[in-house]
Structure 1
């Protein structure tokens, strides 16, 4: 092992800080129990719990209901269908699931909560009543399912994920939960994640807001609404799932696809600072750290899962109370405690064993007009283009088989970078989304749009 490699074991001071945070959360949140885990480098490095029952604390194998974290699992199933070519995210729902009455909304809009559908089902509170009262999609959507014009704003919709679950069932020809088990849970080894509780599991409680007493919450099968919030899981399973959300797994989804899920896909809500939503994943940023994951709640249970790609840290928090404890804030704090106290060591710099000569030829300074930029070749074979000055448009590019590069980030995401060669075979300029980058500012030998003054550069006189 390299002498600078970080051991997976946390320092005692870090462990104490983590234990203290969940102790405060359980006490201040008046939760019957709370269980949490932190993973780093894809492995669980800390587990902790706090309970109101003396001498009895849950561990990482005890199931809690995870509510809307179920939506992320449903999104994974939909992205698998996309990657297999069975659908396109731009497809209208009607193409694959006809007769819903909202067939014009797209699959991407449903995944990102931009379809304009209502937040809840009509009638009684669906989370506290049996799914048998909503046997058809019409019972889930109601007579006027749209609240907003599709595609215009983020509006969180539980019925939207019921539609996605029904879409999975229509294209797979089997129940949503069976597809989830076969396609996701078994390949990832999530054997303590299920649609119904399996012992050992926590009971769900409602804690009186003004008195230290509580009562049990009803446990309901959600029926058609299951893809929006049915699942039970453990901190250990969810920590493993968090690692998948960072790295992917070729048996389920590639790293490229899970990165796509983590990218913003809907307008941020101006009423909630630092919020966003990808494809089945909530996004959060406090300016210093970007998090992706999901929160969940059902009567009797609260849950949160966050991952920080930059820190390679994930945290899971589960509690068995209807309200009081803020799981998202606690999970974010657990990530921050580990990431700030024990930051990851960067990989050692190593030179290429064999660099792509074409990519290497593009390295160095380039000019967009008079704006100086530089191209660098990174260790993973991608190109980075960025301004020499402190501000400007920067992007990373992936090599394509045809010799071009595709933008992966920033202003140039999705745009094509081409190296245009002269008659002698040397690179004359770069073409990027109609912009011409030259080796000299306004190079007269390059096809600079608008041409170059024939008198060239000169002073005043």
Structure 2
């Protein structure tokens, strides 16, 4: 799973990170946005540039289905589905269709941690592993540097694990299960015990290396602090008070899919070895080639685009009170040096904060935050801008070696927004949420 984008409040297509030269990108995209829209809906679309953006992006990659929702100054001004949630039965995507979020799960875990810090139930700078009460596997030695990993390090991906060096344990089900003496796939605590007996790849806090495993640990910290299962606590403290009742953790196998969940596709219908011992050895890649249940806190959530906009509206800057101003500053605070600094010690123009990529904005002062997510059969993108806008897009297929970057959606959405002459004044949230009792 990845978290790559260059989101900024600009009409320039350089925000897309797509590798195309700017003029060629703008020329191609503008032509696409001028094509007639094929999106379903009752009557003419109030935001046709966004419809054409999604259709252009999906058609170029042959993506079966996607969904988009847009927030403006705390109001849900647009929510729409495109294409098929289930292509074979021609079930259309709705704004309420559930999609696997992949790494968009990390901002959710980060918000839950920040809420606990806000309630003084933990400190972001306390040692992370002290809470867990776990030991390495028998015969393995604990790296003494584990004592220096803080919760903040885990949030900012500076804990000391580099998947480019030692692999990503969240995708190593069979060898970890063998080492632990448990059936495959192993659970999060088995994975943590296995990793506690392996050396770190670098000293904590000295550099950034994106780590799914670090967020697995954060999920167990939430459980240790609250005394509740990870999903139970997040739904109780974060989601239910906002009226979000459909979000839940996903399941790996197709037979266990939730009602209202999209079907996931591979462009080449790829199969892969199963990590589940009780199922056939080869499975469709989105359904059992990895263990979604073990990925709960870093990649396991299901949500609709409307759910993500409800969460966006609950944050400071959009009229929400989910976090205090102090805790919002913790979310966007840059890592301590030397992380995210150039050779002269200057802070980079973007960095990974607590659960989100962050770009400080000078005029007016503020921060853009965003995240992307990717798994076999899934690509997701969530943006919250300092100008009062936010949007999320979810797809049931990701790019598979066709030379087209998924992150092009960033520039396309900014360009679509620049084409809007008049934004809707309505608020669609009442259609989807009931006040909490």
Into which bin does the TM-score normalised by the smaller protein fall? 0.5 to 0.7
Match of 1:183 in 2: 237
The higher-RCO structure (CA 8 Å, 6+ apart) is 2
SS in 1 for 2:358: strand
| Superposition deviation, residue 72 in structure 1 | 1.0
Partners of 1:23 and 1:39 lie apart in 2 by 20
Cα shift at 1:217: 2.2
Q: Which one of the candidate residues 262, 266, 271 is aligned to 1:202?
A: 262
How far has the Cα of 1:333 moved from its partner?
A: 3.3
Instruction: Give the equivalent residue in structure 1 for 2:60.
Output: 28
**Structure 1 position 156 matched with structure 2 position 210:** yes
- The residue matched to 1:258 in structure 2 has which SS? helix
1:29-66: CA deviations, max 9, x gaps?
Answer: 22111111111112221223332659753111000000
> Structure 1 residues 60 and 140, CA, compared in 2 at 3 Å: closer, same or farther?
farther
**Aligned match of 1:268:** 340
Q: 1:216 to 1:223 in 2, by over 3 A?
A: closer
Which secondary structure does the structure 2 equivalent of 1:35 belong to? strand
- Structure that is richer in strand per residue: 1
In structure 2, do the counterparts of structure 1 residues 243 and 25 end up closer, same or farther at CA, with 3 Å as the change threshold? same
Indicate how the Cα distance of structure 1 residues 175 and 134 shifts in structure 2: closer, same or farther if over 3 A, else same. closer
In the alignment, does 2:48 pair up with 1:16?
Answer: yes
The match for 1:71 among 94, 106, 120 is 106
Give the one of 376, 396, 417 matched to 1:338.
417
What is the CA distance between 1:286 and its match in structure 2? 10
* Matches of 2:198 and 2:228, distance apart in 1: 29
**Residues 303 and 327, structure 1, Cα contact 8 Å, conserved in 2:** no
Following TM superposition, by how much is the alpha carbon of 1:18 offset from its aligned partner in structure 2, in angstroms? 0.7
Moved more, 167-176 or 236-245: 236-245
Residue 294 of structure 1: SS of its match in structure 2?
Answer: strand
Q: How has the CA–CA distance of structure 1 residues 86 and 262 changed in structure 2, closer, same or farther, with 3 Å as cutoff?
A: same
- Verify: 1:86 aligned to 2:121, yes or no: yes
170, 174, 195: which one aligns with 1:141: 195
Q: Which residue of 2 is the match for residue 305 of structure 1?
A: 382
2:363 is the counterpart of 1:293: no
In 1, the alpha carbon distance for the partners of 2:157 and 2:388 equals 27
The question of whether the paired residues in 2 share the 8 Å contact of 1:36 and 1:60 is answered with yes
1:203-282 → structure 2 map (5 Å cutoff): 203-208=263-268, 217-219=286-288, 221-247=291-317, 252-265=322-335, 267-268=339-340, 275-282=350-357
Specify whether residues 17 and 124 from structure 1 end up closer, same or farther in structure 2 by C-alpha distance, changes over 3 A only.
closer
- Show the counterpart of 1:390: none
Q: Which runs of 4+ in 1 moved over 6 A?
A: 248-251, 285-289
Matches within 5 A, 1:42-57: 42-51=74-83, 53=87, 57=92
Greater Rg by CA: 1
How far does residue 122 in structure 1 lie from its aligned partner after superposition? 3.6
Structure 1 residues 252 and 307 mapped into 2: Cα distance closer, same or farther (>3 Å)?
closer
> How far apart, CA to CA, are the structure 1 residues paired with 2:318 and 2:325?
4
Residue 166 of structure 1 aligns to a residue whose secondary structure is helix
SS at match of 2:374: strand
Deviation at 1:298, TM superposition (A): 2.0
Cα deviation for residue 15 of structure 1 reads 1.2
SS at match of 1:207: coil
2:160 maps to what in 1?
A: 116
Secondary structure class of the residue paired with 1:198 = coil
Structure 2 stretches lacking a partner, 5+ long = 1-43, 136-141, 178-183, 251-256, 271-282, 343-347, 424-437
User: Do the aligned residues in 2 keep the contact of 1:169 with 1:175 (CA within 8 Å)?
Assistant: yes
Is the contact made by 1:195 and 1:232 (CA closer than 8 Å) also made in structure 2?
Answer: yes
State TM-score, norm by structure 1.
0.62
Distance in 1 between residues matched to 2:78 and 2:168, nearest whole Å? 39
Contact 2:134 2:193 in 1 (8 A): no
Bigger Cα displacement from structure 2, 143-152 vs 256-265: 256-265
Q: Which of the residues 291, 316, 323 maps onto 2:399?
A: 323
1: CA distance, partners of 2:314 / 2:75: 11
Greater helix content: 2
Change (3 A) 1:160 1:145: farther
- RMSD (Å), alpha carbons: 3.6
CA distance in 2 between partners of 1:292 and 1:18 (Å): 20
In the alignment, the residues of structure 2 paired with residue 236 and residue 254 of structure 1 have an alpha-carbon distance, to the nearest angstrom, of: 23
Partner residue, 1:451:
none
The alpha-carbon distance between structure 1 residues 287 and 322, as it changes in their structure 2 partners (threshold 3 A), is: farther
Alpha-carbon deviation of 1:103?
2.9
